[in-house]
Amino acid sequence: MPEKPAENCISSAVLDKLIAAHDGDVSLLWLYRQRYGALDEEQAAQALCRTLQEIRAAEEKLRRMELLPEGGAPALRQPPEPDAPEELPQYTAGEISRRSAGNSALSAVYAEAAQVMGRALSSNDLRVLFGIYDHLSLPPEVILELLHFCGELCLWKYGESRRPSARFLEREAYAWANREILTLEQAEDYIRMRRERHSDLGRIREALHLTELSPTQEKEVNGWLEQGFGEEAIAIAADRTVTNTGSLKWSYLRKILQSWHQKGLHSPAEIAEKDPARRSSAPSPQESRVQKPLTSEQWDKILDQI
């Protein structure tokens, strides 16, 4: 991988912008570009253990922050720019009321949203819901699926203590619109995929013997799944990590999986064939039981060699 010459320092202005962004992916991608220059999205995603979507989002945020390098190497290939920024219009209450009048499907969306959100809808709630329908062009039947899935997402993330907020709905709606989920069938397929991924994450968390995954760990595990690794392959990597380091060191686990991905090894069979675990040179249990204790002279020689 070609390297760029190291810079003397990072300016305080740049550091302030990166800190203010409150986004680890943005800082990581900025550092990566400073080190290696502009590579294509797939290379960046592989090197940083991120998904293509996360790389693209971080790249776009760097662009808005005016932190992309000026001149020199070209920027990473970008997806088509949306016609409008990811912010819903500021509809007035009168406009929403007038344009919603007589729309029974939209009235059903408002009623269902109140149930899912667990409260009477505020003017901002109505603005977001109407914006999802009008600005993002999601059909009412798709919005109903979105509402219930957002309730499910909140349950996964926070338990029974929280209901989806208007901002939560808006973020998920943009994700659906960007994926062009515009039919009931597409919505059902997407929800099915997300549920399967949630189950995968739960099984992997158990395989790693973790009570929960941090947001960063969850992003990385999602990236490994997208790369083609399954629960068993990740468990093998975790076992080797513990065997070689004595604990589940996340950076070591990441390097194992990154190495396998670069070699095209994703299934347990491929790993066993092309990268089998090294046999331990430690004595067998029977040998250990009959091994004589070291003498003081032997211990002195060992200590002298350290």
66: left (phi over 0), alpha (psi -120 to 50) or beta: left
Cα 285 from Cα 265, distance rounded (Å): 33
Handedness of CA 217, 218, 223, 228 (dihedral sign): positive
Residue 82's pLDDT is 40
Strands (DSSP E) contained in the chain are none
Handedness of CA 153, 159, 163, 166 (dihedral sign): negative
Rg from Cα positions in the chain = 26
Environment class of 242 (CB within 10 Å of its CB; exposed 0-12, middle 13-18, buried 19+): middle
Residues in the chain where the model's pLDDT stays below 70: 1-9, 38-40, 69-86, 279-306
Q: Which residues contact 233 (CB under 8 A, 6 or more apart)?
A: 257, 260, 266, 267, 268, 271
Cα 210 from Cα 260, distance rounded (Å): 23
Residue 54's pLDDT is 78
Residue 297's pLDDT is 65
Handedness of CA 123, 126, 127, 128 (dihedral sign): positive
Cα 73 from Cα 156, distance rounded (Å): 42
Residue 140's pLDDT is 95
Nearest CA-CA partner of 143 in 103, 123, 170, 165: 170
- Write out pLDDT tens, residues 164-200: 999 999 999 999 999 999 999 999 999 999 999 888 8
23: left (phi over 0), alpha (psi -120 to 50) or beta: beta
Nearest CA-CA partner of 224 in 48, 78, 59: 48
- Using a cut of 0.85, tell me whether the model's pTM lies above it: no
Residue matched to tokens 């003498």: 295
Task: Check: CB of residue 129 under 8 Å from CB of residue 169.
Answer: yes
